[in-house]
Chains A and B, each alone.
Chain A
Amino acid sequence: MNEKELISQLNNLKNIKPDDTWKRESRDILLSQISAGDYSSEISERRFAVSYYLRNFFHQPVLVVSVILLAVLGGGIFSVGAARDTKPGDSLYIAKIISEKAQLAVTFNEKDKAKLGIEFAGNRAKEIARVLAEESGDDKEVKVEKLARSFKKEISAAKTRLKNIKVIKDDKKEKEGVESVQEENAAEQEDNTQVFSANLGKKDKGMQVYTADNGGSETSSSAAADDSADAAPENSVAGDSGNDVEQVLGEAEELFARKDYDGTLNKLEEVNNIIDHIDGAADGETQSESATTTEEVEVLGVSGEAGADSATTTGDNPLK
């Protein structure tokens, strides 16, 4: 068959059309969603996502459940915002807990997950404060105890996640330190070798200081001194921040045991701030995966670059 015929046949494929009934129905549905306003159309997007993802998630029941929960909660049956301030005993409290669990289930980034867990622990502390302030009677004790247990669970779960993050981060740091040495930018190169050598431990830092002391030219020794000075705080933010976080978490737990709930909340906030400053190495994995976030920008094909950017950001974080 010659080319002309082939092309004309390909052209004829235009005759394949969608089913009329379905077309009409989906048009109606879509138009009504649009008219109903922003909120519902974003919800429905999730619903459509649910129906076809759902078919393929049969092997992952947890995901199915959490997606269903998302659809239910997002379906506007009640606003989750209204559930936010509830405490045990309120009717919407269950919704709040379910939504917390759903949020955890669909967060794949370890860093964000840890922060979420800590936020929820904070919620437990808030609830205890409210129960103590507002309620009376015996079940007050029981409730407070349950909440306290839940708080401790969240905190220890967060600790585990943070340990995991540190492990992933250290691995990635070493890898990235090696890779980025190959980059053109000389300044960056220096920073990255700093990170790499910072990870090799105190011995090497000692070596740098040593060369600075005995060093050859003035510029190189001052550069080394500068760099090791940079490396030190950097190391303490990145490498030791894992320990910092644990320390503050420990302080939060202490305050909690002493029933200083405000203090506990403050400490937890501090923890989340520290976590924010841990470099985003752990982010790289999930960001490049997900093109499904409703970020419009990604639709225009920027997602590839966004993923790559976050993956190559190494430990250059200046101490904020």
Chain B
Amino acid sequence: MNSDNAKHIVTRDKKKEVFVNAYDEHFDKIYRFIYFKVGNTEEAQDLTSATFLKAWNHIKNNKVRKKTLRALIYKIARNTVIDFYRSKSAGGQNSAAIDTLDRAINIADEKQDLIRETELASDISLIEKRLTELKDEYREIIILRYTEELSIGEIAKILDKSKGNVRVLAYRALKALRDVMEPDGG
């Protein structure tokens, strides 16, 4: 019995180590990913914490491979945001239009903060604003592919799509972004 307990403790410690390493390595990325989805620091913070907590609960009860851990955490983050929006509309805000407007307003507010915080201020704030004009799907893939620079394969796992789909999606999203960046059709 004792050695069983010891073994159990060793595995659990190992898992803790794996998790904490993953946490440190991916925390900023997950936060950013969620932030671009919800457009608001406070919510992004809450949802990021919730995501990692869920990730820990998952890791401690299941086998996980280090290689796929990042994709897993992204998936959890994605689902967490989805749940968040679902419960939001269940709570009474039903118009999707209101949601996007809220988010645009929030991002505009955040924009003010960002301008003060970063050197590349003007470039970032413009592109951020344009990003919110895109639909969720496009914004999501742009962040994953061009900001976080994940591989097509990994993105495919996260979004549960085929690699081909992902490539096409990325191409279209980028094009859409270019279109809103240059409304005069340049």
Contacts and interface: CB of A to CB of B under 8 A. Distances in A.
Contacts of B45: 18-19, 22, 26
A62 interface: no
Contacts of B20: 31, 34
B48 interface: yes
B185 interface: no
Contact of B147 (A13, A19, A53, A59): A13
B147 A52 contact: no
B27 A13 contact: no
A289 B45 CA distance: 24
B82 A1 contact: no
Interface in A257-282: none
Interface stretch (A37-45, A69-77, A143-151, A178-186): A37-45
Grouping DSSP codes into helix (H, G, I), strand (E, B) and loop, the B interface class, with mixed when no group exceeds half, is helix
B35 A296 contact: no
Contact of A19 (B41, B46, B79, B84): B41
Nearest to B54: A45
Contacts of A296: 57-58, 61-62
Interface residues of B, number: 61
Contact of B50 (A18, A31, A52, A291): A52
A16 B35 contact: yes
Given A45-B57, A52-B84, A299-B58, A13 B46 contact: no
A226 B95 CA distance: 52
Contact of B86 (A18, A33, A51, A289): A289
Interface stretch (A2-10, A98-106, A236-244, A247-255): A2-10
A26 B178 contact: no
A1 B27 CA distance: 32
B127 A9 contact: yes
Contacts of A44: 53
Given A27-B23, A294-B57, A56 B83 contact: no
A301 interface: yes
Interface in B19-45: 19-20, 23, 27-28, 31-32, 35-36, 41, 43-45
A300 B178 CA distance: 33
B167 to A, nearest CB: 15
Contact of A7 (B32, B128, B146): B146
A301 B74 CA distance: 12
Contacts of A168: none
Nearest to A49: B50
- A-B pairs, top 10 by smallest CB distance, nearest first, are A56-B91, A10-B146, A18-B31, A48-B50, A59-B92, A52-B46, A13-B147, A296-B58, A301-B160, A45-B53
Interface of B: 16, 19-20, 23, 27-28, 31-32, 35-36, 41, 43-50, 52-54, 56-58, 60-62, 72, 75-76, 79, 82-84, 86-88, 91-93, 114, 118, 120, 123-124, 127-128, 142-143, 146-149, 160, 174, 177-178, 181-182, 186
